[in-house]
Amino acid sequence: MTVVAGLDGCPGGWLCVWGDPGKGALAATVLPSLEGLGAIAPSPERVAVDIPIGLPEAGPRECDRRARTLLGRTRASSVFPVPLRAMLAADSYEAACALGENTDGRRLPRQSWHLLPRIREMDAFLRADPSRVHWIQEVHPEVSFRAWNDGVPMCHGKKSELGQLERAALIDAHWGAPWREAGQGPGSGQADCDDRLDALAVLWSAQRLVQNRAEWLPEEPPADAAGLPMAIAY
C-alpha cells in the first residue's frame, strides 16, 4: 500500500487528503497544525502541499515565473508572488511592504500577506527537522490540473461554479466516488469546495512524486538561504 497525502490551507488549519489513490482508498480531515501529520495512519510516504516553501532573499522565484508561463494568460494570475524570507518576521502588512520596497522595490500583494501565517508555519516545521524537506514538496494546484488535463490549463477560476465543475469532472474521471466520500471525513466540512479540489490536485502530484513520475519547475531547483528548495512539482 503506497500512501500519499495532499495538503491545502483552509479555515481551521490544513485540509489533508490521504490514502492510496491507486486502490481508491482516500480519507480527509482538517489538521489544526502541521504537527497533526504525525498522527495520520497509515503514515504517508510523500506529502505534497499547496504553499510556498523556499523563499527568496530578493526578487521573484524562477519556479513561479515558469509556472505562470505554463498556465498562460487564463490562469497565470493564480500564482501569487511569494514573500521574501525577511518578511516572515513582519508583524504587519505595512512592515512587510516596507521590507519589500527597501530590498527590491516591490510591495507584497494582499493575497500573499494572507498566506503568510501558513508559510511561516510550514517554514518552521521544515526547519525544525531538515529530513522533512525530502518528505514534503511544494505543489501548485493549477499547475497540477494543467498536467492532469493533458497540458491544457483550466478555463475558469476555481471559485466559480464552472471552474469547480471542470475540476470535479477531471477528478471524477480519474478517481470516481472515493474522492467525494473523502470529503465527508472528520472535520473536513470546515473546508470549502475549492479547498477540496485543490487538495486533490495536490494529492495527484504526490502520487506522481512517490512513483518518480513528477516533473519539476525548474528541473534543477535552487535552495534558498535556509536550505529549502525553491521548486514546484507536478
Range of the domain at 74: 1-80+128-234
**CATH code (residue 7):** 3.30.420
Contact 224, 88 (CB under 8 A): no
pLDDT score for 178: 59
pLDDT digits (tens, 9 = 90+) for 11-64: 899 999 999 988 877 889 999 999 999 999 889 999 999 999 999 999 999 999
Query: What order do you get walking across the sheet with 136-138 strand by strand?
Result: 25-31, 13-20, 4-10, 46-50, 136-138
Structural domain includes residue 224:
yes
pLDDT digits (tens, 9 = 90+) for 177-192: 656 665 554 455 556 7
Structural domain includes residue 4:
yes
Mean pLDDT, the chain, rounded, equals 92
Contact 153, 145 (CB under 8 A): yes
Structural domain includes residue 138:
yes
DSSP helix, strand, coil percent of the chain (3-state; round to 5): 50, 15, 35
Structurally, how many domains does the chain consist of? Answer: 1
Phi-psi map region of 186: left, alpha, beta (phi>0 left; psi -120 to 50 alpha): beta
pLDDT score for 181: 62
Structural domain includes residue 44:
yes
pLDDT score for 204: 95
Structural domain includes residue 99:
no
pLDDT score for 174: 84
Structural domain includes residue 158:
yes
Q: pTM for the complete prediction?
A: 0.93
> Is 109 buried (19+), middle (13-18) or exposed (0-12) by CB count in 10 A?
middle
Q: Where are the beta strands (DSSP E) in the chain?
A: 4-10, 13-20, 25-31, 46-50, 136-138, 216-217, 232-233
Q: What percent of the chain has pLDDT over 70?
A: 94
pLDDT digits (tens, 9 = 90+) for 50-102: 999 999 999 999 999 999 999 999 999 999 999 999 999 999 999 999 999 99
Q: What is the distance between the alpha carbons of residues 137 and 178, in angstroms, rounded to a whole number?
A: 24
Structural domain includes residue 121:
no
Structural domain includes residue 94:
no
